[in-house]
Chain A
Amino acid sequence: MAARTNAAGAPRRRRRFSLLTREDKIVLGFLIGVPAVIHIALVWVPTISSILLSFTSWSGIGGLETIRFVGVDNYERLATVYPPFWPALQHNLIWLGVFLFVATPIGMFMAVLLDKNIRGSRVYQSALYLPFVLSLAVIGFIWQLQYAPEEGFINNVLGTNTERNLISWLGDRDLNLWAVLVAASWRHVGYIMVIYLAGLKGVDPSLREAAMIDGASERQIFFRVVFPVLRPVNIVVLVITIIDSLRAFDIVYVINRGRNGLELLSVLVTQNILGEASRIGFGSAIAVVLLVISLGPILFYLTRTYEEPS
């Protein structure tokens, strides 16, 4: 009996309750399908092929039949006989640490200061934001001039530009990573400042007022009231910082092609895959290591984003 009712009622009910007509479904299918195809072709296919290639040896010359499966050889070589790998990993982590714990807090601090509507705030804003307009490669060129051993501004101010007491900012492998991080942070600070400033402008002034009436100090207002309210901005800033430090490449590449103390994973991928060296499998293995490291922040961001409504 129930079955009969269903059989009779189904078409009618479906027509009554379906919010989408056939036309809607085609349009929707198109709107979802096209991005899905693009997404799969541009994100998943390269990612999965990189992972597969990392278990192979291939010179990149000749057809796919010349690809040879070598198991985990590439990863083993990476960890044992490839000297730049561990320094590169270490440099990437230092980069991340400096961005997270130095550059980003400075950017936030600048934003808080500029949010106070001090005189000339627009000028300071522009001055701090200006470096972000430049690409990291251009910043590399600019800072190379500042750091130049004999003619550079910094060494001339310090008086360390003669052969006897020369400071080689970019040539000394104990020093150059820090010198480059100063240049990269110069850009990062402005970026974080602008994002944060926008967030601060959006904070309801009545919150501060209420806290002030309750007798909270400036410090308390910021850390107990404003900072928690800015949680969405904080997550964006965190993710941007992590991604920016993992994809760092251009600045060290223009300085010395990422050698002699400036090794980064991204540079090693390039060195092995581009050019005549062409070790596609080996380079892919390094790329996979970078991917695994990047997955951490990506997953963090996704879980936080989808947690939001609840």
Chain B
Amino acid sequence: MAASSKASTVSRRTVLKGIAGAAGVMSVPTIIAACAPAATPSPSAAPSAAPSAAGSPSPSAAPSAVTGSVRFASTWTGDTKALRSVTDAFTADTGITVKVNEVDGPTFSSQINSYLQGTPDDVFTWFGGYRMRFYAAQGLLTDISDVWATIGSNFSDAFKTSSTGDDGKQYLIPFYNYPWVVFYRKTVFADKGYTIPKTLAEFKALGDKMKADGLVPLAFADKDGWPAMGWFDIINMRVNGYKFHVDLMAGKEKWTDPRLEAVFAAWKDFLPYCGDMAGALGRTWQDGANLLINKKAGMLFFGTFAGTQATNPADHDDLDFFPFPTLGTAFDSELGIDAPINGFLVSAKSPSLAENLDAVKAFVEYLASGEAQSTFLAENPNFVAAAKDADTSKYVALQKKSAEIIAASGAIAQFLDRDTDPAFATQMQSFLQTWLTKPDQDMTAFLKGIQDFWDSLGI
């Protein structure tokens, strides 16, 4: 008995030792692997940084007082080449290297809070409006008012307002913007003898004609949730004016206001022209743009970036657009539109910022120049430059038209999800989809639900 128990003890002990040894051996590679990411730069940063670093030795580097390098996070993954020509030109001028770190846009947005609190890059691509003011108020952005003192005269007051935080200081370098407009195909309008509608009555008459011709008048697509916000914005601005719109977005006006019932009532006039609503809610914006490009739909209300969907140059050349029709209200003359600004912010917590602050400021000052913006837009002609001194002579027809529409507008909003609290904007997409599915529901209850949700956010 005793002997057998001793024997089993020995064997158990041996087994335990064996396990411990194995665990020890196995944990070694794990520890090494765990150390690796901290010791070496992240793999995603390395490949994108390499080309710009390689292009850095400038042949005729102008003498510059400022030296150093800039770390720059870009979510404009579709514009890699356009952005590189901008950074290369800057490096050639100043000898300051720019390390571009490309990141996926939606992923970047979903991690922005921890990104800005952790070890962000010096400069990153972002938006104007609430989405900038919020982070400025949290102390996560660097005040660039001193840069604005130099570049201020190069921007209109509207741009300056959009770049200013709640504390009155500037945080954004506006780079380009784009209006939300009604797209159409020139050949379709010419073939069928359609004319551009300026008022609601003309728009409805045209919509009826298109229906008779077997076209869906409006390519509406809201699977992504946000395109409907563009509709809400424009109709609210046309019905109630810009002031009411921004006050509503800021929570100074209530959603239970009867003026909002008027907005949804006016929106309802357009729904019969949007085709099958369940179909529209199942389409991405790209699907929607394709309906127009494939001549299945007559018009598309969208940001001008919808033009990127026409990859065939012949199709792209055939695209044209006009401003959203007036609705016969007191605010018709204001012509308020959404023209969201994309630009650059300087983070506050970047570990390399203190060392490179002068280089970073020189870089963003360059980005504020017409020269940098023209270089970029030469590669991507779907947007218009923010700076006054940008070279507009090389604009293609659609860019000229965008610039005209923006200039003609007396009030420019950003976009619902850039003008209001993000948690509210996220839920607003569902509210609008609910309404689009059942536009005849009890509007008092519907609007009260939105207001209750707003109140629950404690903004």
- Chain A residues near B (Cβ < 8 Å): 19, 21, 23-24, 27-28, 30-31, 34, 57, 59-62, 77, 80-84, 147-150, 163, 166, 168-173, 175-176, 256-257, 259-260, 263, 271-272, 274-279
| Candidates B20, B111, B225, B278; contact of A257 at CB < 8 Å | B225
Asked if B426 lies at the interface with its beta carbon under 8 angstroms from chain A, I say yes
A163 contacts B275, C-beta separation under 8 Å: yes
Contact in complex: B429, A259 (CB < 8 Å): yes
Contact call B430/A171, Cβ cutoff below 8 A: no
Residues of B within 8 A of A256 (CB): 223-225
Measured in the bound complex, the distance between the Cα atoms of B112 and A60 in whole Å is: 11
B245-283 near A? 1/0 per residue, CB < 8 Å: 000000000000000000000000000000110111111
Interface residue? B395 (CB, 8 A)? no
From A81, A150, A276, B422 is in contact (CB under 8 Å) with A276
Q: Which residues of B contact A147 (CB under 8 A)?
A: 282
* Other-chain contact of A31, B19, B276, B296 (Cβ < 8 Å): B19
Residues in B with CB closer than 8 Å to A170 are 223, 282
Contact yes or no, A83 B223, CB < 8 A: no
Confirm or deny: B423 has a beta carbon within 8 angstroms of a beta carbon on chain A: yes
Contacts of A57 in B (CB 8 A): 458
Q: Which 10 A-B pairs have the closest CB atoms?
A: A171-B282, A276-B422, A172-B278, A171-B281, A277-B423, A168-B282, A168-B278, A81-B452, A275-B110, A168-B279
Cβ–Cβ contact A81 & B456, under 8 A? yes
User: How many of B's residues come within 8 Å of A, CB to CB?
Assistant: 52
Docked-complex contact B279 and A259, CB < 8 angstroms:
no
Decide if B453 touches A83 in the complex (CB within 8 Å).
yes
Contact A275 B426 (CB under 8 A): yes
- Supply 6 further A-B pairs (C-beta < 8 A) apart from A30-B20, A81-B449, A275-B109: A82-B427, A83-B431, A84-B430, A170-B282, A171-B282, A257-B225
Chain B's closest residue to A283 (CB) is B423
In the complex, 7 of the A-B residue pairs with CB atoms within 8 angstroms, ordered by the A residue number, are: A27-B16, A30-B20, A81-B453, A166-B278, A168-B281, A259-B225, A278-B423
**CB pair B109 A27 closer than 8 Å:** no
- Give the interface centre of A61, A148, A278 by most chain B CB atoms within 10 Å: A61
Assembly CA distance A86 to B431 (angstroms)? 15
Please give the distance in Å from A94's CB to the nearest CB on chain B: 18
**CA A256 to CA B225, docked complex, whole Å:** 8
A276: contacting residue among B109, B281, B287, CB under 8 A = B109
The answer to whether A260 touches B281 (Cβ under 8 A) is: yes
B5 touches A19 (CB 8 A): yes
Per-residue contact bits, chain B 16-56, to A (CB 8 Å; 1 contact, 0 not)? 11011001000000000000000000000000000000000
Q: In the complex, are the beta carbons of B433 and A163 less than 8 A apart?
A: no
Please measure, in the bound complex, the distance between the C-alpha atom of A274 and the C-alpha atom of B12, giving whole angstroms. 48
Q: Which chain B positions have C-beta within 8 A of A169?
A: 282
Number of A-B contacts (CB under 8 A): 126
What 0/1 readout, one digit per residue, does chain B (385-411) give for beta carbons within 8 Å of chain A?
A: 000000000000000000000000000
> Considering the chains assembled together, what is the distance between the CA atoms of A50 and B9 in angstroms?
44
A148 to chain B, nearest CB (A): 8
Determine which of A23, A168, A277 lies in contact with B276 in the assembled complex, contact meaning CB atoms within 8 Å: A168
Expressed in whole angstroms, the minimum distance between the Cβ of A160 and any Cβ of chain B is 11
Report the bound CA distance from A171 to B457 in whole Å: 29
- Is there contact, CB below 8 Å, between B456 and A77? yes
Chain B contact residues, CB within 8 Å of chain A: 5, 9, 12-13, 16-17, 19-20, 23, 109-114, 117, 131, 134, 138, 140, 216, 223-225, 275-276, 278-283, 287, 296, 422-423, 425-427, 429-431, 433-434, 437, 449, 452-453, 455-458
Contact of B433 among A27, A30, A259, A277 (CB under 8 A): A259
Contact of A171 among B131, B278, B422, B458 (CB under 8 A): B278
How long is the Cα–Cα vector from A225 to B370 in the complex, in angstroms? 82
Report chain B residues within 8 Å CB of A60: 113-114
Give Cα A269–Cα B452 distance, bound, in whole angstroms: 20
Given A149-B282, A166-B279, A172-B281: A28 and B16 within 8 A (CB)?
yes
The answer on a CB contact under 8 Å between A279 and B423 is yes
Q: How far is the CA of A171 from the CA of B276 in the complex (A)?
A: 10
Complex CA–CA separation, A275 to B434 (angstroms): 23
Q: Which residue of chain B has its CB nearest to the CB of A165?
A: B276
Least Cβ–Cβ distance between A66 and chain B, in angstroms = 10
For residue B287, which residues in chain A have a CB less than 8 angstroms away from its CB? 148-150
Choice from A27, A168, A271, A276 contacting B20 with Cβ under 8 Å: A27
Residues of chain A contacted by B13 (CB below 8 angstroms): 21, 23-24
Residue of A at shortest CB range from B282? A171
Decide if B112 touches A276 in the complex (CB within 8 Å).
yes
How far apart are A153's CB and chain B's nearest CB, in angstroms?
15
Let me know if A260 and B112 touch, CB within 8 A. Answer: no
Chain B residue at minimum C-beta to C-beta distance from A76: B456
Chain B residues in 8 Å Cβ range of A171: 223, 278-283
Do B437 and A61 touch (CB < 8 A)?
A: no
**Bound CA–CA A82/B452 (angstroms):** 9
Q: Determine the distance from Cα of A259 to Cα of B426 in the docked complex, in whole angstroms.
A: 10
- Compute how far the CA of A274 lies from the CA of B426 in the bound complex, rounded to whole angstroms: 11
Give A259 to B276 CA distance when docked, in angstroms: 18
Shortest Cβ distance from residue B249 to the other chain A in the assembled complex, whole angstroms: 15
Within the complex, the shortest CB–CB distance from A59 to chain B, in Å, comes to 8
Please name all residues of chain B whose beta carbon is closer than 8 Å to the beta carbon of A172 when the two chains form the complex: 278, 281-282
Instruction: Collect the chain B residues with CB atoms within 8 Å of residue A175's CB.
Output: 278
Task: For the complex formed, measure the closest distance between the CB of A65 and the CB atoms of chain B, giving whole angstroms.
Answer: 14
B130–chain A nearest beta-carbon distance, Å: 10
Name A70's closest neighbour in chain B (CB-CB).
Answer: B458
Chain A residues within an 8 Å CB radius of B425: 277
A68 to B415, CA, bound (A): 31
Nearest to B137 among chain A residues (CB) is A61
Q: How far is the CA of A173 from the CA of B280 in the complex (A)?
A: 12
Known A-B contacts A83-B449, A166-B279, A275-B109; the reply to A259 vs B430 at CB < 8 A is yes
Assembled-state Cα–Cα distance A154/B351 (Å): 53
Bound complex: CA A31 to CA B196 (Å):
77
Contact yes or no, B225 A31, CB < 8 A: no
Question: Given A31-B16, A83-B449, A279-B423, A260–B433 Cβ distance below 8 Å?
Answer: yes
How far apart are the CA atoms of A170 and B282 in the complex, in Å? 5
Residues from chain B with Cβ under 8 Å of A278 in the complex: 113, 422-423
CA distance in complex: A171, B220 (Å): 12
Contact status B9-A276, CB under 8 Å: no
Please indicate the chain B residues that have their CB under 8 angstroms from the CB of A21 in the complex: 13
Q: Do A24 and B16 touch (CB < 8 A)?
A: yes
